[in-house]
Chain A
Amino acid sequence: MKLSLSFFVVGVLLVLLQTTFLHLFPVGPVVPDLILVLCVYWGLYHPTVGAALGSFLLGYSVDVVSSPILGLNAFAMSLVFLAVYLSSRSIWLHHPVVSSIVVLMASLVKGAALILVWTVFLSVDGFWTGAIRYILMEALVAAVLAPLVFALLRRGQAYLEEIRVTA
């Protein structure tokens, strides 16, 4: 419970980072999607009901803060968590490059989900052309950052578990 709460706090902090500080370091037109990386991490290393709800809530908070329609990112993040969770049984991660690949795939899944939902619910003309470039860039940036974020999250998780064991 304590770990899930800590993860949620980290998630809120990442939303904060993504809506403020990360805009100082934009990579082209995209801002690094750290929330996606966290959801992938949850799907791989911390697959719990709390993590599933956390993914939904983080996506929802992104919607609340910046999406034109509620539920868009909540759906995408929940889908990412589910996809990573389902595939985690056949993925054995012990190399940073693999984590990058998983995040890249997850980011593409998220992009595809967003396009799907966007097309169904918002139907904006000429959305496809810009979206594909955007999705690819976002996926690449997230993939590049993934090993670092994973390492930090793992260290944090190990620290919290150590505290729990000693307590």
Chain B
Amino acid sequence: MLAFLRKNQILLSSCFCLLLSLYILTAAARGQLKNDPIGPMLLWIMRPLQIAAQSTMNWIQDIQDSYSMLTGYKSENEKLRKRIQQLEIERNQLLEAEATNQRLQQLLEFRSRLPSGSVTASVIADSASSWFKSCLLDKGSADGVRKGMAVVTPLGVVGQVVAVTGRTAKVLLLTDANSGVDVLVQRTRARGIVSGSLDNGTTLKYVKRSEDIQEGDRLVTSGLDGIFPKGIMVGTVIKVRKQTLGLFQYIEIMPAVSLTRTEEVLIVRADANQQKN
């Protein structure tokens, strides 16, 4: 008997375990398992280990969550950064379009006051030499631009067309030493010629010493040169010096148009009557 038990001890112990578990199952299913000595003991052994393992796992999970959160933030940040860049570009485009729109609207309003047949043009290049103050426009003879036509903006006189090709026109600016615009002092109606210079800026020439010219006086085109329509703003007097000798005063003016910042201009056809003169 003992030999049989010893020989089949594993089989018997396995069967015993199976029967024991079936007994426990039955008792547990019927609710008769009141005293369970093994369960609490196992839990007693495992509880501290499980607490430690669980807290380690929570720690790992926290790191995992933080990492995925960080990568999420990173990609979101990247997306938002790109979006900001995109919006910034769009905003610039809109601002630029709005500014262009305003300028063109002013030009249109101004154009309606000028003799018919004016041409709108954009400045496409500035002077390549510091000796000359000129710019290049994107309209030429194909658009009806002719040599000698006046170039203006709603703010005032820009210059005069001095050379024309099929698609471009070169403009001699008011500030160039070779330019000359017949003007009137708005307050006193005294006449003179506005011209640029290499050293002294833009000046009003040929005004008699006896004329009453003051700083702040506004100059407008006289319309007598047959190039510029009458009454267009040319500039403001900023310095007046009556020399001890000579017939004329020295008058320095500030052009009404900032010529370096001009983008769109109107090329004004000379009035037929004026052209005849």
> What residues of chain A have their CB less than 8 Å away from a CB belonging to chain B?
12, 15-17, 19-21, 23-24, 47-49, 51-53, 55-57, 59-61, 63-65, 69-72, 74-75, 78-79, 81-82, 85-86, 117, 121-122
On whether the beta carbons of A57 and B38 are closer than 8 Å, the reply is yes
> What residues of chain B have their CB less than 8 Å away from a CB belonging to chain A?
9-11, 13-15, 17-18, 20-29, 33, 36, 38-39, 42-43, 45-46, 49-50, 53-54, 56-57, 60-61, 64
Given A12-B45, A20-B57, decide whether A82 and B24 contact each other with a Cβ distance below 8 A: no
A80 to chain B, nearest CB (A): 10
| CA distance in complex: A121, B18 (Å) | 16
| Given A53-B17, A56-B21, 14 further pairs, Cβ under 8 A | A12-B49, A20-B54, A24-B57, A55-B14, A59-B21, A63-B39, A64-B43, A65-B46, A69-B25, A70-B33, A74-B21, A78-B17, A121-B25, A121-B26
- Residues of chain A within 8 A of B26, CB atoms compared: 71, 121
Q: Out of A51, A71, A86, which one reaches B25, CB within 8 Å?
A: A71
| CA distance in complex: A111, B33 (Å) | 25
Going nearest first, the 6 A-B pairs with the smallest beta carbon separation are: A71-B25, A71-B24, A75-B21, A56-B17, A74-B21, A82-B14
A-B contact pairs, 6 of them (CB 8 A): A52-B13, A53-B13, A70-B24, A71-B28, A78-B14, A85-B14
- Residues of chain B within 8 A of A63, CB atoms compared: 39
On whether the beta carbons of B53 and A20 are closer than 8 Å, the reply is yes
Closest residue on chain B to residue A75 by CB atoms = B21
| CA distance in complex: A122, B25 (Å) | 10
- Residues of chain A within 8 A of B15, CB atoms compared: 82
